[in-house]
């Protein structure tokens, strides 16, 4: 894969995002609004053993990444439905650079949106207490998660037959933070939900971010989170490349 071609495709995807400011603003503001709703509407009724804003920020960051990844799926499906991919392939641009460009743009957009969420959280009382290395590790884990779900979104965009269907396919990514430890402790959920909430991919990522940001013991949880991210990335990348070949025969 040509790195220069992938960067060119990423620049193209970012320019397309800039031409749709309404969609970009919605993707940026909705996670912030949801975080504010949880903190100010429900936070007083939820006992997490700490200030609720401190507890909820890691989950809000992953929720933000899920909304951002949804736009990636829609962009990929839009390219496929409008024949843009055929034009790019006639210029000898391969499938992997095209998809990698969408993913790279998704990572940039998601980092901007999660930074916005973090800035708003700081404004309303969130105070990370982790040291520089812990904060750097948290940033690296967040990038690994965003990359994983961006590749998954690209695969879902190829699986969908239209941009509208792609938006529907990404609902699961936006739903997964709720049955996890993102907004409430798992032990407050119904007992039949504990197994899924405790062992789904987002819970170790959230717990790792919470531990790293707040200088709490993390144990082996960050390694579990990284294993999930690596597995999802490998599976989604393989699926995306395979689907691209099938769709462009």
Residues 6 or more apart in contact with residue 74 via CB below 8 angstroms? 157, 163, 166, 167, 170
Q: What is the pLDDT of residues 146-186, one digit of tens each?
A: 999 999 999 998 888 887 788 777 777 778 888 999 998 99
Q: What is the length of the chain?
A: 249
Global confidence as pTM: 0.88
Q: What is the pLDDT of residues 216-231, one digit of tens each?
A: 888 899 999 999 999 9
Q: What mean pLDDT value characterizes the chain?
A: 84
What is the average per-residue pLDDT within 73-80? 82
DSSP sequence for 37-67: HIIIIIGGG---SS-HHHHHHHHHHHHHHHH
Structure tokens at 47: 């006992």
Q: What is the pLDDT of residues 2-48, one digit of tens each?
A: 677 767 777 777 676 666 666 667 667 777 888 888 888 888 888 88
Which is nearest to 69 in space by CA: 107, 115, 22, 116?
A: 107
């Amino acid at each position: 894969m040509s790195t220069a071609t992938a960067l060119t495709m990423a620049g193209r995807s970012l320019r397309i995002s800039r031409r749709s400011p309404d969609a970009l603003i919605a993707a940026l503001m909705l996670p912030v609004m949801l975080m504010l709703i949880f903190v100010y509407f429900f936070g007083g009724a939820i006992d997490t053993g700490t200030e609720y804003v401190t507890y909820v920020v890691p989950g809000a960051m992953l929720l933000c990444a899920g909304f951002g990844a949804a736009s990636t799926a829609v962009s990929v499906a839009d390219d496929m439905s409008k024949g843009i991919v055929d034009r790019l392939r006639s210029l000898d641009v391969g499938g992997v650079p095209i998809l990698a460009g969408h993913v790279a743009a998704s990572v940039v957009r998601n980092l901007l949106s999660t930074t916005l969420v973090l800035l708003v959280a700081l404004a309303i009382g969130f105070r990370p207490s982790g040291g520089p290395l812990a904060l750097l590790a948290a940033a690296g884990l967040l990038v690994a998660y965003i990359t994983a779900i961006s590749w998954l979104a690209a695969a879902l965009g190829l699986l969908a037959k239209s941009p509208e269907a792609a938006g529907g396919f990404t609902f699961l990514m936006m739903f997964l933070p709720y049955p996890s430890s993102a907004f409430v402790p798992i032990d407050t959920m119904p007992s039949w939900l504990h197994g899924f909430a405790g062992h789904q991919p987002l819970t170790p990522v959230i717990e790792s971010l919470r531990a790293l940001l707040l200088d709490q013991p993390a144990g082996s949880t960050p390694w579990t989170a990284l294993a999930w991210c690596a597995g999802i990335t490998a599976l989604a990348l393989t699926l995306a490349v395979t689907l691209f070949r099938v769709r462009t025969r």
